[in-house]
Structure 1
Amino acid sequence: MPGPVPAPPAAGPREVLALAVPALGALVVEPLFLLTDTAIVGALGTESLAGLGVASAVLSTLVGLFVVLAYGTTASVARRLGAGELRRALAVGVDGCWLALGTGLVVAVVGALATPTVVAAFGVADGVAAEARTYLAVSMAGVPAMLLVLAATGVLRGLQDTRTPLVVAAVGFTWNAVLSLVLVHGPGPLPALGIAGSAWGTVVAQSTMALWLVVLVVRGARRHDAPLRPHGAGVLAAARGGVPLLLRTVTLRGALLATVAVAATTGAPSLAAHQVVFTCWTFGAFALDALAIAAQALTGRSLGAGDAEGTRATTRLMVRWGVGGGAVLGGLVAAASPVLPWLFSDSADVRAGITAGLLVVGATAPLAGYVFVLDGVLIGAGDGAYLARAGVLALLAYAPLLAVVPLAGLRGTVGLVLLWVAFAGGYMAARAVTLGLRARSDGWLVLGAG
């Protein structure tokens, strides 16, 4: 837990790397949880694996929506830290954890009751649906821990500590792998729980991670005499601040889902290619998101310190890192585009679609880096209301671009390429315009701890 003396507001490249590299490691560990479960459950058969696919889609959506608990807490804590109010920063962090716990309990209850309906909406076969219901019914018990991990991680990020969440995530991943393997297959005299064992392994691992992180937050709060009981006004303020960020996140998820829906109209080979391209884009986004997390922490701290010029300088530095990192990432993707398709498919049509889509991703990666970083800067500034409006505007601008592919009846590689031009080029350009205009203004430069 960092000490009471805040770091200098003006960030340098070394500090950016010190925050971004561990953040990237933690982000990469997260999908490994699902990858491990997939490998272990896959041995149970096709129905179990398909059921896990349905359940993971639901759980991934929950994580995607409630990641705002980490974002909002990071910004609030970092701002108080920058103002030299470490006690208040920890108090805000504790309130954020209470909000996560309360939200998690509500979501767990509602989710458990809604599990049969949600699974039925996927329209899968009875055997697959039964496995999905089993996995989700168990997993809902771990939702409070999952949201606590997000909030407590946000507290540590706000305190400029991204290394501890990486260590916790790595240990949690290892613990999850061991538990899932034992509980699913039941070696020796132990009973084999099947897909439920995989879910229980993840629940226990998440609970362990949550306990570890919360203990660290509590220790810091006690050390600096910050209150541990929930402060009603503080919890309510955290909830109010999270609503605009939630709307922003909903617009992002909406754009991604709409893109998949249009990809389905381009034919099976191009849809398969789209899945591979989207997966590669997602992994590339982790690297850029790590820079965005660094931007959140540094921006909040600098604004809290009342340093407008330092904040501007940090923003310029982060933008250079974002665009430059995107350019490097894009070059790697473009260079790998003729080779990667062979790892995923033996179909010439699918491989052609993957190569073409990856070239679009590579060409637009610098734009994505610009967008991710500015998004992080404005989240760190607590500018959630603007981000929500900007998200709606970008989605509205994307809609007509997205409609071109199905309206023109485009299929195959041509349809896929135009779809990715619309998403990685048009949608990201719309976001870049709205975020860039805001960054150039003074509306988000609210100084001080408030």
Structure 2
Amino acid sequence: MTGGAGRVPLREIARLAGPALPVLAAEPLYLLVDTAVVGRLGAVPLAGLAIAAVLFAQVTGQLNFLSYGTTARAARLHGAGRRAAAVGEGVQATWLALAVGLLVLGVGQLVAGPVARVLGDGGAVAAAAESWLRVALFGAPLVLVTLAGNGWMRGVQDTARPLRYVLAGNALSAVLCAPLVHGLGAFTGLGLVGSAAANLVGQTVGAGLFLLALHRERAVAPVDEPVSLRPVPALLRAQLAMGRDLLVRSLAFQACFLSAAAVAARFGAATVAAHQVVLQLWFFMALVLDAVAIAAQSLVGAALGGGDVPRARALARQVGGYGLVLGTAFGVLFAALAGVLPRVFTHDPAVLAAVPAAWWFFAGMQPLAGVVFALDGVLMGAGDAAYLRTWTLVAAGGGFLPLVWASLAFGWGLVGIWTGLLLFVVLRLVAVLLRVRSGGWAVAGAVRT
């Protein structure tokens, strides 16, 4: 790839970010639909969903190296003109996804009950969480295959097919959710478990389409550059080496958000349900703002793979600015909707009364989060996982976690929990700004050394 130090055309970023946006938003949007459907069952099922959904999302999210790490490696190879090798990274990531997903399913079934009781503080909320989680766990291998598929396709700058695949699965889940939860005609519904069943059906469709895509890549590959569908130990080890840093980083996120859910549960069903509503919106916006970062991952990786460091640095400056603009716009939007949007998810007076304690933190953090998520994408695209790992641990251990547990000790409730999230974002913002300014992340070559 060639180019200069000038600005990258906006249309090039939009070409990748546009299709990536609905892909990123699809899963959290389904969870928002799920939250709204389950919310009609009452505070206890909604609180159970809050515990179980955060647990499931954190377990699968901890393995996001299957997406982000694969994008970084595939993009460099694609930038160097080695498409078959880039697709091969997707094949290996898919093997890892299946193996790790089956492990998550097996271990998850063993610990679902005890973990739900710990996080849900026993009782009806814990029982509801366990019932949802046991069904949802069967989707773990499918979710991880989808992550791997998104990763290699983004690396080769194909965001159109993932858009179709993910939307097909999530649209089916959304259509099935209400009938499976509340019933339809003579069918009385499955209650909370119905939402997990609907999700599982959609995940099966999405994962199947990504597997079919790999098979098609093999069929159309040139004879002198074949795509093998067999596991390659050397590539698996290389992916795991990068994945190690991203796993540790994801573990820090997991510790933070599971701790927040557990502490919120100690303040009662209404508090944890309110936390669930705002937190799902936070996760949704995190991925929406990450759309520009996905484009940056692919373009930065390809630029560095092709040896064009100035282009990579120009992209970093641009996506940081785009993240700030988008985050500010969304912050204003959510501030304006403070009295309206929470009612979409629940009519419970106690839950609605608890929402504002978290809502204003959520709205106010959007500009900061926009920059953080965008520059995270730049550094991930460059394969700078070790730096992101270290500073995520610092922000979690020095910011989020101490305030979360202090909130339990001193009775600060949602205000304390969300103050911890604010400090977490601020510390990460300082770290990524310093790193991008230093230029130490911009290492050229088809493979980062």
In structure 2, the gaps of 5 or more residues are: none
Q: Indicate whether 1:431 and 2:432 are aligned.
A: no
Matching residue of 1:251: 252
Deviations 1:187-245 (A, max 9, x none): 68989766655544433321221111121123123322211111111112112211110
Q: Indicate whether 1:219 and 2:216 are aligned.
A: yes
Matching residue of 2:368: 367
Q: Indicate whether 1:58 and 2:55 are aligned.
A: yes
Matching residue of 1:156: 153
Cα deviation, residue 99, structure 1:
1.0
Q: 1:157 to 1:329 in 2, by over 3 A?
A: same
Equivalent residue for 2:89, pick from 92, 100, 110:
92
Is the Cα–Cα contact under 8 Å of residues 266 and 411 in structure 1 kept in the other structure? no
Is the Cα–Cα contact under 8 Å of residues 90 and 221 in structure 1 kept in the other structure? no
2: CA distance between counterparts of 1:116 and 1:419? 25
- TM-score normalised over the length of structure 2: 0.83
Task: Provide the aligned C-alpha RMSD in A.
Answer: 3.8
Cα deviation, residue 182, structure 1:
6.4
Matching residue of 2:290: 289
Cα deviation, residue 331, structure 1:
2.4
Q: 1:356 to 1:297 in 2, by over 3 A?
A: same
Provide the secondary structure at the position in 2 that maps to 1:11.
Answer: coil
Cα deviation, residue 83, structure 1:
1.0
Equivalent residue for 2:106, pick from 109, 133, 148:
109
2: CA distance between counterparts of 1:32 and 1:379? 24
Q: Indicate whether 1:202 and 2:203 are aligned.
A: no
2: CA distance between counterparts of 1:28 and 1:150? 14
Amino acid aligned to 2:290: D
Is the Cα–Cα contact under 8 Å of residues 343 and 352 in structure 2 kept in the other structure? no
Matching residue of 1:241: 242
Q: How does 1:155-194 map to 2 (within 5 A)?
A: 155-179=152-176
Q: How does 1:293-372 map to 2 (within 5 A)?
A: 293-337=294-338, 340=341, 357-372=358-373
- TM-score normalised over the length of structure 1: 0.83
Matching residue of 2:24: 27
Matching residue of 2:396: 395
Amino acid aligned to 2:304: L
Amino acid aligned to 1:379: M
2: CA distance between counterparts of 1:428 and 1:384? 18
Cα deviation, residue 430, structure 1:
1.2
Provide the secondary structure at the position in 1 that maps to 2:62.
Answer: helix
1: CA distance between counterparts of 2:266 and 2:186? 50
Deviations 1:12-39 (A, max 9, x none): 2112222223222122221343345556
In structure 1, the gaps of 5 or more residues are: 1-5
Provide the secondary structure at the position in 1 that maps to 2:14.
Answer: helix
2: CA distance between counterparts of 1:285 and 1:53? 18
Amino acid aligned to 1:390: W
Is the Cα–Cα contact under 8 Å of residues 81 and 159 in structure 1 kept in the other structure? yes
Provide the secondary structure at the position in 2 that maps to 1:230.
Answer: coil
1: CA distance between counterparts of 2:276 and 2:183? 34
